[in-house]
């Protein structure tokens, strides 16, 4: 009498590995838009922090803005797929960056912070 060995066959193992690969591929495709939304949220958060830093350096006695160190925030925006475009003078500032959703997020010294459809609507000193 022969003793039957228990275990998985090669075919069974290949089928299981193929199913795991297929499920992983579907999961990665489904997470793509979420990753872009997360990058957009990070860029928006960084630009709002830049706005807060600029507002905290405002000197009302002579209507001028200081120059806070925003290099870490600019680097973080770049790491998330954006690029900060800025224009600052002694009494105005404007910062904006492209988002993954094909729009732009802009903050300026007039108090505006929001999404604008294209960079052509952004002036040299304000977002509008």
Predicted confidence (pLDDT) per residue in 86-124, tens digit = 888 888 889 999 998 889 999 998 989 999 888 877 887
Question: Given a cut of 70, is residue 1 above it in pLDDT?
Answer: no
Query: Which strand ranges, in their side-by-side order, compose the sheet holding 93-98?
Result: 85-88, 93-98, 104-108, 113-116
Question: Given a cut of 90, is residue 18 above it in pLDDT?
Answer: yes
Question: Given a cut of 90, is residue 8 above it in pLDDT?
Answer: no
Is 74 part of any domain?
yes
Q: Give the C-alpha separation, 96 to 118, whole Å.
A: 11
Domain residues for the domain of 53 are 11-121
As a whole number, mean pLDDT of residues 55-84 equals 89
Averaged pLDDT of the chain: 88
Report the residue count for the chain: 128
Q: What is the pLDDT of residue 50?
A: 93
Could you give the C-alpha distances from 120 to 39, 71, 99, 123, in angstroms and in order?
Answer: 23, 25, 15, 8
Is 3 part of any domain?
no
Residues 78-114 as b or e (16 or more Cβ within 10 Å = b): eebbbebeeeeeeebbbbbbbbbeeebbbbbbeeeee
Is 40 part of any domain?
yes
Is 6 part of any domain?
no
Q: Give the C-alpha separation, 83 to 69, whole Å.
A: 17
As a whole number, mean pLDDT of residues 57-71 equals 85
Is 63 part of any domain?
yes
CB neighbour class for 54 (10 Å; exposed up to 12, middle 13-18, buried from 19): buried
Give the number of domains in the chain: 1
Is 106 part of any domain?
yes
Helix (H, G, I), strand (E, B) or coil at 114: strand
Is 35 part of any domain?
yes
Is 126 part of any domain?
no
């Amino acid at each position: 009498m022969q003793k039957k060995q228990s275990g998985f066959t090669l075919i069974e193992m290949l089928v299981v590995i193929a199913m795991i690969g297929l499920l992983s591929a579907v999961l990665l495709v489904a997470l793509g838009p979420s990753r872009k939304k997360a990058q957009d949220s990070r860029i928006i958060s960084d630009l709002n922090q830049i706005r807060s830093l600029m507002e905290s350096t405002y000197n009302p006695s002579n209507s001028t803005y200081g120059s806070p160190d925003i290099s870490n925030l600019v680097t973080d925006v770049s790491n998330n797929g954006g690029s900060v475009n800025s224009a600052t003078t002694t009494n105005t500032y404007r910062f904006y960056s492209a988002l993954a959703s094909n729009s732009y997020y802009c903050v300026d010294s007039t108090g505006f912070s929001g999404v604008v459809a294209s960079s052509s609507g952004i002036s040299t000193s304000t977002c509008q």
